[in-house]
Amino acid sequence: MKKYITWISFVLVFFALWKTQAQNLKSVTKFSLTGFNGFSYSLWDSATFYKNGKLIDWPFTGGFNSSQFFHCKLNEDNIPDLVIFDRDGNTLTTFINTGKNELLPFRHAPEYVTNFPAMYNWIHVYDFNCDGVDDLFTSEYDYISSYTGIMKNNQLKFSNNSIKLKADSLPVFCPSSDIPAFADIDFDGDMDILSFDQFGTRVVYYKNLSMDNFGTCDTLLFSSPVCWGNFSEDFSTNNVNLNDSCSGGRWAKNGIVENNLHAGSTLLALDYDGDNDNDLLVGDISFYYLNLLTNGGTNNYANITEQNPTFPTSSDKVNIRIFPASYLIDIDNDNIKDLIAAPNAPPASANINQIFTYKNTSLTTSYSLQYLSDTLWSGKTIDVGTGAMPVFIDLDKDGLKDLLIGNQFYTYNNGKQTGQLMYFRNTGTLSSPAFTMDTDDYLSASSFGLFGLSPAFGDMDNDGDSDLLLGDLEGHVHLFLDTAEVNSPANFALKQFNYKNIDAGNSAIPQLFDLNEDGKLDIIIGERGGRIKYYENIGTLTEPDFSDTPTSSFLGKVDVMKQCCTGYCAPLFTKSEGKIILLAGSENGWIYEYDDIANNLNGNFLLIDSVKIPGHRIFLSMGDITNDNSSEMVIGNFGGGIFMYKLSSATSIKENVYYQNNFLFYQSGNDLNIEIFKHLSDLPYEITIYNSSGTSVKQLSVFPFNNRYKIPIGEISAGFYFIVLRNRGGVVVGKWVKM
């Protein structure tokens, strides 16, 4: 299969960078922020969304880009549930099987996500030890790690430590760009592995010796790899070379050892023709199609004798831009495995209409696939392609806040890319919102020829309505004024393209906010480098004016780029209890909260809290959409999905152990223990404990001579507290519940 040099470069660079986005999986169901007096935000499961006249069943999955599909028993009801892992951001979505005989009979159940370990690039679920509990396999650089599944309190959990798989004394090899095949290749009862080897044109077979040596399937003991199938990848087409043995010792073609650099392939082993041996579905990074390789040999000696490079048929072939991968799951609870195909190369792959679903209609052990749809999965969720940037705004001026979502881009299977705005109109009531998709191309934004569309709203000309400032990927902003009559739906007219010639760098994420509190809206822009630029309004209420040079190019010394080479700061300034607070979304999936902003625009803002949100390139907006005088929050991520949260009480979060950066807080009896793994500086620390109302209840200073401190807390009553450590080296905040 063709290995273009450009794609080799893409894989090496992309997968090296994407590894830095690997996430420890966190629950999306609840988090809290210091500046909101310890109140927590909970995922708003009851929020309702409609599209094309149908209820969106799973609005808050976070989007599907390069998704991988596996059955996994998340609880003890013995019904196969579903997990979807996305290589784009290394995120996991979990679903419970409802048991109904219908298409996609799954309920989104994000509470199971935290039971999984950190996973990278790809996963596979397989009960390798035959104990009835699913186990987990994932990429570890160019090797494979496993976690043993444990059923505890009716929930699937995993061993704390992973095991790197080995064949003899060497690691089982699998390039991080690939997806290997896990199956009982020789039909002896234990799990074997097929993968491409280091030289890139041969599939190799790692035979599990568990049954051979011990008569059981509960061990991962692999022999040295041997060439499988008697074929090699073709250099220039989607075909393979048949009858090409591995004679000559190490994988060799015509007796010459090959040294091709492997660019990427996906494998799925399945007995497609029902003849009791494994055939192979292969996807390649350079092509849009899957190739079915038919095994004309046996389960002990594979010999690929036929191929179908436009699988399953030329008229209904998998056609995905680019690098397709395939998965087997039962999509309708008929106990027959169906086929899913999805891309495996973010961000170059298609991100819309890119998940192909085929129903297996065969009543025998062979497969007979009927194409269903490429929109079945996306129709169940909110997904704007790549990069969701949502904002609450009442566009039809009926008194109910609507939802507008900008995106980075859609990538279609034909290679076309567009930046668009998706509009959900609030068709509910003041206290019970419901959102109905009006259009996925509001303002016909796809015609602008822009990407990275980040909307911000504010009354720029003091005429009583909200105008639109639209940021783009190139770092510019564009002003649209609402020219509609009072109480009439918004009618935006372009005031100025490249407004005031402002250029904030790459990926302008604007906000309109009166930062200096002079009664006029200023322009604040987060950008790709992780910093915030501030443009003061030097005009009037009705005629705003801005210099193209920022008033501050490093506002508050806020920098959310924690590692090379991007930060993608998404600023949201808001007021809590009359105080200006900054929430800054980031590339690495953290929201950083800052205080000490008013009258300190030339100084350093104080970092007071942070919280991890699933995914990366986090964008957030707030608004009271339930008429209860508290703000709901909507969060977008780079996967193209959103999460919506509602304010709840502080007492629902109880964390007796808190870890942030290089500090650990935990209570032991009447002592609060603080462990410092790396000091902020060699200067004394000021430690302050605040109650949920913001009142200091204990304060002391310590010198950084030790790494462990005990603070007597017997006099502090039970309740929710914040612990703040400060010195000139920085500040860290921890949440603590005194029991």
CATH of the domain at 80: 2.115.10
Which among 733, 732, 63, 43 is positioned nearest to 386, based on CA atoms? Answer: 63
Last residue of a domain, one of 594, 626, 648: 648
pTM: 0.85
Same-domain status, 356 and 394:
no
Cβ atoms within 10 Å of 703's Cβ, excluding its own = 9
Q: Tell me what pLDDT residue 640 has.
A: 96
For residues 236-275, b (16+ Cβ closer than 10 Å) or e, as one string? Answer: eebebbbebebeeeebbbeeeebebebbbbbbbbbbbbee
Evaluate whether residue 44 is within a structural domain: no
Q: Tell me what pLDDT residue 259 has.
A: 45
Q: Tell me what pLDDT residue 236 has.
A: 79
Number of domains in the chain: 3
Cβ atoms within 10 Å of 693's Cβ, excluding its own = 11
Which stretches of the chain drop beneath a pLDDT of 50? 1-24, 26, 248-262, 650-661
The three-state secondary structure class of 679 is coil
The three-state secondary structure class of 607 is strand
Same-domain status, 435 and 376:
no
Same-domain status, 424 and 538:
yes
Q: Give the chain's count of helices (H) and strands (E).
A: 2, 59
CATH of the domain at 670: 2.60.40.3080
Q: Tell me what pLDDT residue 682 has.
A: 60
Question: Residue 588 and residue 281: Cα distance in Å, rounded?
Answer: 34
Cβ atoms within 10 Å of 626's Cβ, excluding its own = 20
Domain of 537 in residue numbering reads as: 386-648
User: Tokens representing 193?
Assistant: 């592995």
Same-domain status, 398 and 277:
no
Q: Tell me what pLDDT residue 655 has.
A: 35
Parallel, antiparallel or unpaired: strands 467-471 and 135-140: unpaired
Q: Tell me what pLDDT residue 279 has.
A: 98
Last residue of a domain, one of 380, 399, 427: 380
Evaluate whether residue 430 is within a structural domain: yes
Same-domain status, 499 and 466:
yes
> Distance between alpha carbon 462 and the CA centroid of its chain, in Å?
39
Same-domain status, 589 and 636:
yes
* HSE-up (13 A, CA, CB side) for residue 589: 20
Evaluate whether residue 350 is within a structural domain: yes
Question: Residue 217 and residue 219: Cα distance in Å, rounded?
Answer: 6
Q: Tell me what pLDDT residue 346 has.
A: 83
Question: Residue 739 and residue 632: Cα distance in Å, rounded?
Answer: 29
Query: Which residue in the block uniquely carries the two structure tokens 């310590």?
Result: 702
Same-domain status, 580 and 667:
no
Question: Residue 345 and residue 702: Cα distance in Å, rounded?
Answer: 50
Evaluate whether residue 685 is within a structural domain: yes
Same-domain status, 353 and 492:
no
Same-domain status, 628 and 707:
no
Last residue of a domain, one of 351, 380, 409: 380
Q: Tell me what pLDDT residue 680 has.
A: 56
Q: Tell me what pLDDT residue 139 has.
A: 96
Evaluate whether residue 619 is within a structural domain: yes
Q: Tell me what pLDDT residue 387 has.
A: 96
Q: Tell me what pLDDT residue 250 has.
A: 40
Q: Tell me what pLDDT residue 342 has.
A: 97
| Amino acid type, 550 | P
Evaluate whether residue 344 is within a structural domain: yes
Same-domain status, 399 and 512:
yes
Note the maximum CA span of the chain.
83
CATH of the domain at 455: 2.115.10.20
Evaluate whether residue 25 is within a structural domain: no
Same-domain status, 502 and 625:
yes
Same-domain status, 183 and 290:
yes
Evaluate whether residue 356 is within a structural domain: yes
